[in-house]
Amino acid sequence: MTFEQIKKNFDRKLWNKQMVAKAVEKNVITAEQYKEITGEELVSAEQKNDN
């Protein structure tokens, strides 16, 4: 799976933000690429727990 494939799947609504985040977790794409795909900063589980 590549960045381009993930972006296309997200744009077609075949993938949701959680699925894109999982690709970051598995080091398939970067957090910066997550932002490029979704338009939002990736919030890690640790950051969510701090709030």
Q: What is the pLDDT of residues 1-51, one digit of tens each?
A: 999 999 999 999 999 999 999 999 999 999 999 999 999 999 875 555 555
Q: What is the pLDDT of residues 29-40, one digit of tens each?
A: 999 999 999 999
Q: Is 33 helix (H, G, I), strand (E, B) or coil?
A: helix
Q: How is residue 16 written in tokens?
A: 């949701």
| pLDDT at res. 50 | 58
Which pLDDT score is estimated for 45? Answer: 57
How far is C-alpha 36 from the geometric centre of its chain's CA atoms?
9
Question: Whole-angstrom Cα distance, residue 2 to residue 39?
Answer: 18
